[in-house]
Structure 1
């Protein structure tokens, strides 16, 4: 585990900002501070005339190919093949029982209808004789209708046979529900295990991404992919898989039963399939890109909320509440319009399917009634067929409406896959070298580096830091001081040259091995939710209580911790908000002290402590730096007078190096910086 503090996070937008919440160019069209009433806009033009993006200066964004993304998402279920097979088998049994049910109910209707008709016929006459009498009397239509039935003239309803049929129907429906419940239970486990593995892969991926990636991605946007998008994938898989399996099996089963009952009526029902496919395809094609935009805007809105919340105090201090609210309204409107368009257009599928199903229902009722009258079918068979027509169109409508949920899930999956496909940092060597000793001799050999190829920063820099030396790095903002430290830690890879630690090239070492030999204290402190003891022990897992207290005493943390009611068991709140900035910085110094690294890096590590405490901490650091290399980045030159070597950097180059006294004598860049801080010139106003 790396014993380093978390690297500072750049501006979430990737651009310079004066303070969180300040308006950006073009963000607001009105006068500063003007607050327009919030109005939810109506999508301009409606579908087909610009859609939800009409009138907005939003660049068009085409979705990735739907089917490859959907196929890849389903591929995530591959480890659950056996459980999915069981789910399919249970679904087959459940649907089979459900499909047989209407046929039994139709038989029950036939028994009731036949009993009612039989009661009205004269006893002692057979069905054949009665039909012959009707034909002789010219009533062929009645004769045809009765010939399709099983009658016993003079008797009533056979309640024993009716009870048997209804009991079997009840048993089938109960079994169908039981198997359906088992299918849903197992499928829930399949989906949750799949999402569990997906979250683990995302977490592992984030740990393998280079720092360059986090410099270019908004933090709230990244969090939205890890949380909102993954949750949406879970919900989509949970509902769409169950509906898809059940609906497809129901369509097949019902189609078989309809063909057995009446091929003529089955042909009428089959008309719904091409109509359904065409309607769904047309609507889904338009809504998919809107779902992608919906989740993109969700990430952007989350990013702004996270950024504003983090800088809430500064927003208040600079009076930027109205600008922040305006920016939020604009982002919220963008999300509303994308969501409205996606949900509205995809929501047209279900009404369209219902309309098609109603047309088919009317057709089957009319043709079925004519067939009963003609004696081609029994009334119960028509009733069963009407039930089957409902069962046939309903899953088709469900498949259509499922496209809404599936498209949303695939859009989220695209965003997650984009994260998983991001180029990772170079792989660590296997097994990797390790220095034979831990003295901390650090050598830069013709090192070159730039964040952007067209803007060189560090070029052919060479430097030797001997064990036990304190190397101070000074220079104006943007000179490359922190970049130099990032290169030591391999947060960024070199463009040319190499860096060695105790004679071993850092690229030949694993990152964990390299960073375990380095301790870093940043100006931007990072503390996690936990006790003070846990935060200090983060520098060396498994450290004893005595070691933790010793580190706290050496860095003057113990004195303020003892004043707290719970002492070392005090739980730090949101990033240590219940302790002062100086106390937070002392805690991070204690963490590094406990790690006892070979190389110690202090990046403005005492900028938030008072002068007296800084002197005390420097004394503690002198003990810590014994036989170890220390790099100190400081703007207050009074803190580095005793450094063994002072490097003055400008534009990525070391322009001067030497001791405090020698550099002052030289009268160069360092002397100018020192004079600027301590000469205290008088300027007329």
Structure 2
């Protein structure tokens, strides 16, 4: 179409046509220069927005706001946020300014060409070398010529800014997931299952393996080298038995629980459940088999009902009430004005620590997994609640393969097997009485907690 318009214009007036062609680079050059500049500004804008959102998410949520108030830093945080917001505002104004200048330049170029056509054409009419109708036709052709060129230049501008978005998007899409389901994955076997750690070594992946600098709102990811967390760990949890993991903080107990649910893969050795390596199991069957209550359980900003149904969407009200009774929290829930329709707040902040822990236990009981992992599941309970929940857990774990992480040794005295973890290694194993008689780290921990309170 552009060639047809130029041909018609050349027939009508080759002089005006040549001037129109001379002005064409004025459409292309600004598009390249401004497009490149806007692309850089857009990339910087996304980084600044990510930093501002990170501040809002981290420091202005319930837990973050509480820390800010407790340390008396609201004014400092407000100032910091205002600085971030001002940077976002300024770069937004700069982007808008460049865009407006670009479009004004294109409009001015088209107007200059039209003005030249009328000026030169007017002189030509007075000289008698061209008619008035030809001038009108040429100006209309110029409008038809520069209209598509303006649109193409704008499209180039949009493409340059969109390219920045696609770059970040493809960065995320190209990031290889650390946990993949094997092509020949099999479902977990039915019935009771045993958990076996066989010569397991593990180190947490480096930051570059699991994230991107653009996602972390930093210029460069942490390059701390990987360090081993577990060394040659081997043990078996027979089906239907309870194995407790004890030891000082940072020994690797929670890490071992994460390997059972395959939040991470081992570096060497294997973790098997029911004689199936977790790396060869389907993700759905593995999540159905293993249930976890973390040390700090997460509740969604939704109703109690929705949080419970997250474990088993098809559960009935009777099922939920049974789970709540087993978790020793039914009386508290039934006393609430809205009952199961009570909203728990962000991360469950409207509940006490013990109540939140027991809701998480009820969610686990509703899921009814065959392997139970409890990471300090009674850590936030008072003595009375702990005793009640412990009875419910004993009843629940009696029919399931259970791994219990505990610092309070009173909760695991009846475990079939106790593993003492220190610096990523199993340093002792046995029952409570055997470990007390053996001496060593377990006996030291026990004496520290109970010396002078109760006999052995």
CA contact (8 A) 1:295 1:411 kept: no
- Report the equivalent of 2:284: 512
- Report the equivalent of 2:236: 464
CA contact (8 A) 2:39 2:164 kept: yes
Q: Distance in 2 between matches of 1:253 and 1:316?
A: 71
Structure-2-length-normalised TM-score: 0.87
- Of 414, 420, 438, which residue of structure 2 is paired with 1:642? 414
Bigger fraction of residues in strand: 2
- Of 72, 76, 79, which residue of structure 2 is paired with 1:319? 72
- Report the equivalent of 2:293: 521
Gaps of 5+ in 2: 207-224
Q: Distance in 2 between matches of 1:645 and 1:252?
A: 86
> What is the number of equivalent residue pairs in this alignment?
432
- Report the equivalent of 1:481: 253
Compared CA separation, residues 633 and 401, structure 1 to 2 (3 A): same
Q: Distance in 2 between matches of 1:581 and 1:542?
A: 28
Q: What CA deviation, in whole Å up to 9, does each residue of 1:313-339 have, x standing for no partner?
A: 221112121332243244334434544
- Report the equivalent of 2:167: 414
Q: Distance in 2 between matches of 1:585 and 1:261?
A: 85
Q: Distance in 2 between matches of 1:595 and 1:454?
A: 35
Correspondence list, 1:119-130, <5 A: none
Gaps of 5+ in 1: 1-248
Q: What CA deviation, in whole Å up to 9, does each residue of 1:459-497 have, x standing for no partner?
A: 211011112222111222221111101111111111110
Q: What CA deviation, in whole Å up to 9, does each residue of 1:166-199 have, x standing for no partner?
A: xxxxxxxxxxxxxxxxxxxxxxxxxxxxxxxxxx
- Of 96, 108, 115, which residue of structure 2 is paired with 1:355? 108
Instruction: Please state if 1:270 is matched with 2:21.
Output: yes
Instruction: Please state if 1:670 is matched with 2:442.
Output: yes
Q: What displacement does 1:282 show?
A: 2.5
Instruction: Please state if 1:308 is matched with 2:59.
Output: yes
Q: What CA deviation, in whole Å up to 9, does each residue of 1:44-95 have, x standing for no partner?
A: xxxxxxxxxxxxxxxxxxxxxxxxxxxxxxxxxxxxxxxxxxxxxxxxxxxx
Give the secondary structure class of the aligned counterpart of 2:24: helix
Q: What CA deviation, in whole Å up to 9, does each residue of 1:590-648 have, x standing for no partner?
A: 11111211110111222222221111111011111123111111222222222222222
Correspondence list, 1:131-530, <5 A: 255=6, 258-259=9-10, 261-310=12-61, 311-451=64-204, 452=206, 454-530=226-302
CA contact (8 A) 1:288 1:342 kept: no
Q: Distance in 1 between matches of 2:321 and 2:67?
A: 35
- Report the equivalent of 1:655: 427
Q: What displacement does 1:415 show?
A: 1.2
- Of 350, 358, 363, which residue of structure 2 is paired with 1:586? 358
CA contact (8 A) 1:268 1:360 kept: yes
Compared CA separation, residues 385 and 521, structure 1 to 2 (3 A): same
Instruction: Please state if 1:533 is matched with 2:305.
Output: yes
- Report the equivalent of 2:324: 552
Instruction: Please state if 1:632 is matched with 2:404.
Output: yes
Structure-1-length-normalised TM-score: 0.59
Q: Distance in 2 between matches of 1:365 and 1:645?
A: 97
Q: Distance in 2 between matches of 1:585 and 1:607?
A: 8
Q: Distance in 2 between matches of 1:335 and 1:651?
A: 46
Q: Distance in 2 between matches of 1:478 and 1:252?
A: 74
Give the secondary structure class of the aligned counterpart of 1:433: coil
Alpha-carbon RMSD: 2.5
Out of 290-299 and 440-449, give the one that drifted further. Answer: 290-299
